[in-house]
Amino acid sequence: MSTCDQCVVRNRSICAALDENEIKLLNSIGRRRNLTAGESLIWEGEDSVLVANVIEGVLKLSTGTEDGHEQIVGVVYPSDFIGRPFGATTGYGVTALTDARVCVFSRRDFDGFAREHPSLGQKLLERTLGELDRTRRWMLLLGRKSASEKVASFLLELMERLVEPGCKVVFDQPSRQLELPFSRQQIADVLGLTIETVSRQLTRLKVEGTIGLPSRREVVIRNLDALVAGAG
């Protein structure tokens, strides 16, 4: 019996495309790996040697400029796919934001498997197209939105992505409580802002009553409409 049987993302990850036999085969070339918060799985600029599925936790994809500024170019959640198949170098590093569990494959093995199992390639394509859509929406945010719009948009996106099985969320309207997988600095790196600006925007939202900040790593959405309105 493969370990995939009990996998919590079995039906949401790209593996959903595969039948029992295929799963068994894929399982034989993959292995589980645990990451602790802050640990990196892939480094920017290295040849793409491995790919993975996220089982649990949140990870960031990030690049930096020469002068040390960092930009987070993507965030992945349980059931998401990580890495760059088909022989390219990775343009970004992959680092765990929280403790995480992933299912890793050597890129070579995975490429071969994907080529022989079109249904997997198909799922991967759909996922990649979706990711591209999301990334383009993020470009609008980075290029044209103000700091306050950025922070509001960030909270909304976070809410949507955390409200999925596999992540703990207390989901009782109209007050939604989120556990932030990001430090203030990381939020800044997602939004292309400085940590101080993020902090000021968050306290502004709190003072206005739009959100609550019970602790550094928690956010309560108190007024969803106001947040949506503020997202631009």
Partner DNA sequence: CGATGGTTTGAGATATATCAAACCTCGTGG
Partner DNA sequence: CCACGAGGTTTGATATATCTCAAACCATCG
Strand order in the sheet with 93-96: 40-42, 93-96, 59-64, 70-76
Residues 26-65, one symbol each (x = binds a copy of itself by CB under 8 A, - = not), give -----------------------------------x-xxx
Residues near 224 by beta carbon (within 8 Å), at least 6 away in sequence: 174, 176
Q: Are 152 and 193 in contact (CB under 8 A)?
A: no
Over the window 188 to 207, marking each residue x when it contacts a copy of itself by CB under 8 A and - when it does not, the resulting string is: ---xx---------------
| Under rule CB under 8 A, residue 115 binds a copy of itself | yes
Task: Based on the shown chain and the rule CB under 7 A, indicate whether residue 220 belongs to the binding site for DNA.
Answer: no
147 binds DNA (CB under 7 A): yes
CB atoms within 10 A of CB 188: 23
Task: Pick the closest to residue 231 from 175, 151, 161 (CA basis).
Answer: 151
Query: Which DSSP helix (H) or strand (E) runs through 214?
Result: strand 211-215
Site for DNA in 169-208 (CB under 7 A): 183-185, 192-200, 202-203
Please, are residues 208 and 152 in contact by the beta-carbon 8 Å criterion? no
Q: Which residues bind DNA (CB under 7 A)?
A: 146-148, 183-185, 192-200, 202-203, 213, 215-216
Q: Which residues bind a copy of itself (CB under 8 A)?
A: 61, 63-67, 69-71, 73-74, 84-86, 88, 91-92, 115, 118, 121-122, 124-126, 128-133, 135-140, 142-145, 191-192, 232
